[in-house]
């Protein structure tokens, strides 16, 4: 129960950050209602364990490629970051283009597409799973995105890595 209160409070703050003009109390009430309906549906309309495993298997299609980009960037920079520039905003060396690093986004999307095409779960089966004999290669999305990031961002990463 204690964890749910903190989570609902954070959820209401996120709704306000998105610019939804609700009071915090209304945002918490809406978050609590959505959470309760989702929990009731997971408990009574489907097998909870199956639903949880399916949901987690779909999360891998996002987080494996994200991890690939993150690890590739860390390896390329040898974990050397200018911590002040990370928080500087538009004047910082990591701001790139309006706060987005195009090679990073492209590599992330490429890895996500690969992971989605090779995902095998109850909720989604990618079109490449059958030709691969039922193999789930979702985790390789990290490798695909990491290699794509390395290929696309070699020059920009070298230019923004501080000297030791």
**Are 125 and 119 in contact, with CB atoms under 8 Å apart?**
yes
| 22 backbone φψ class: left, alpha, beta (φ>0; ψ -120 to 50) | beta
Name the band, by pLDDT with cuts 50, 70 and 90, for residue 119: very high
Q: Percent of the chain scored above 70 by pLDDT? A: 98
For the record, the structure tokens of 98 come out as 């309006």
Cβ 153 vs Cβ 76: under 8 Å = yes
Distance in angstroms (rounded) separating the CA atoms of residues 105 and 160: 17
Lookup result for tokens 């989604």: 124
- Report the predicted TM-score, pTM, of the whole model to 2 decimal places: 0.74
**Burial call 144-154: b when 16+ CB within 10 Å, e when fewer:** bbbebbbebbe
Q: State residue 71's pLDDT score.
A: 97
- 68 vs 82: CA distance, rounded Å: 21
Decide if pLDDT at 1 tops 60: no
Q: 64, 67, 76: which is closest to 152 by C-alpha?
A: 76
Residue 77 and residue 157 in contact, taking contact as beta carbons nearer than 8 Å: yes
Q: What are the tens digits of pLDDT across the range 9-55?
A: 888 888 888 888 888 888 889 888 988 888 788 778 878 788 788 88
Give the integer Cα–Cα distance in Å for 161 and 85: 11
Q: Residue 69 contacts by C-beta under 8 Å, 6 or more apart in sequence? A: 104, 107, 108, 111, 145, 146, 149
| Longest CA pairwise span in the chain (Å) | 57
């Amino acid at each position: 129960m204690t964890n749910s209160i903190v989570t609902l409070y954070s959820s209401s703050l996120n709704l306000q950050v998105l610019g939804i003009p609700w009071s915090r109390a209304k945002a918490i009430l809406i978050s609590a209602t959505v959470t309760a309906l989702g929990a009731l549906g997971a408990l009574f309309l489907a097998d909870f364990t199956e639903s949880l495993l399916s949901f987690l298997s779909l999360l891998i299609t996002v987080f494996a490629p994200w991890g690939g980009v993150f690890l590739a960037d860390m390896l390329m920079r040898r974990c050397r970051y200018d911590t002040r520039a990370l928080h500087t905003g538009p004047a910082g060396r990591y701001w790139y283009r309006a706060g987005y690093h195009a090679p990073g986004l492209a590599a992330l999307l490429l890895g996500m597409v690969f992971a989605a095409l090779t995902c095998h779960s109850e909720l989604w089966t990618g079109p490449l799973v059958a030709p691969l004999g039922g193999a789930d290669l979702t985790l390789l999305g990290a490798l695909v995105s990491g290699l794509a990031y390395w290929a696309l961002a070699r020059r920009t990463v070298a230019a923004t890595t501080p000297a030791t």
